[in-house]
Amino acid sequence: MELKKAVIVANGGKEIAKKVAKDIDKYLRSHNVSSTIVVTDKETDFSCIDSKTNLLVSVGGDGTVLATARAVLEYGIPILAVNLGTFGYITEIGPNEWQEALDDIFEDKETISRRLTLKVIVSRGDKKVFKCFALNDAVVSSAGISRMVHLNLKINNTMAGQFRSDGLIISTPTGSTGYSLAAGGPILFNDMSAILVTSICPFTLSNRPLVVGSNDVVTINVPKGQRTDLLLTVDGQVKFEILEGDEVVVEKSRSRILLVNSRKRNQIEILRSKLNWSGGTFNA
């Protein structure tokens, strides 16, 4: 990877993130790399990210990566995700490992993980009223608390059924360790090409998580007669009000998010640590 221009995005809610971002900025500049620091807030401006940017360094946690992923998707810019706490599911690189990761990039030794992303479109009548991209998931649920919703699910052009539940989660393999996992969904390997549909607290016990191909199109129709307002949430950060009669279409995006891999640990090791698996040998 030729590295000439980098953008460092620091979690504005963590003082340590700002300090680490300054250290990274200084290191990059010492290697003749043009570097800009962006500190996140509720109205973060990512206009400094453009097609000339070679690398984005995310300093914070998984939430910081999700916020920046949408900003770099159209440019195909790799993300080096630095986690400041315990290792996140997306952020594999620790706070003392970023220099080694950057050295790998300078020496063309880095490896890149190409993560499937979702394109989410809401149609209202003949108009498309919302469009967004998701690295983790898109969730259609009640806007209130403990309210059941009725949603019709189609896979491609085939009706899969009407779901009575707290909502539906449509997730990527990357997002399978997020909200979907908490709702009872399976864990998918990051490099898989698949889309996961998980019902949240379904009223019918026969409803089970569904894994479909990456080329399949998932459509959620919102029938009339709902007893609550509905909300679409993308990556837990972008929200859009859903009305009765709306159609939410979720499919694979043409672009993928590029994440710089850690040489220190892989997905299994992260899962073992985060989920408190023993990871030891088994004696029969």
In the residue annotation, 62 being an active-site residue is answered as yes
Catalytic residue, candidates 62, 166, 235, 246? 62
Percent of the chain at pLDDT > 70 equals: 96
Give the position of tokens 């890149």: 112
Domains (range + CATH), the chain: 5-115+256-274 (3.40.50.10330), 118-252 (2.60.200.30)
What per-residue confidence (pLDDT) applies to 279? 56
Amino acid at 4: K
Integer Cα distance of 157 and 170 in angstroms: 17
pTM: 0.91
Q: State pLDDT tens for residues 190-214.
A: 989 999 999 999 887 778 999 999 9
pLDDT band at 94 (very low <50, low <70, confident <90, very high): confident
Q: State pLDDT tens for residues 236-269.
A: 999 999 999 999 999 999 999 999 988 877 788 8
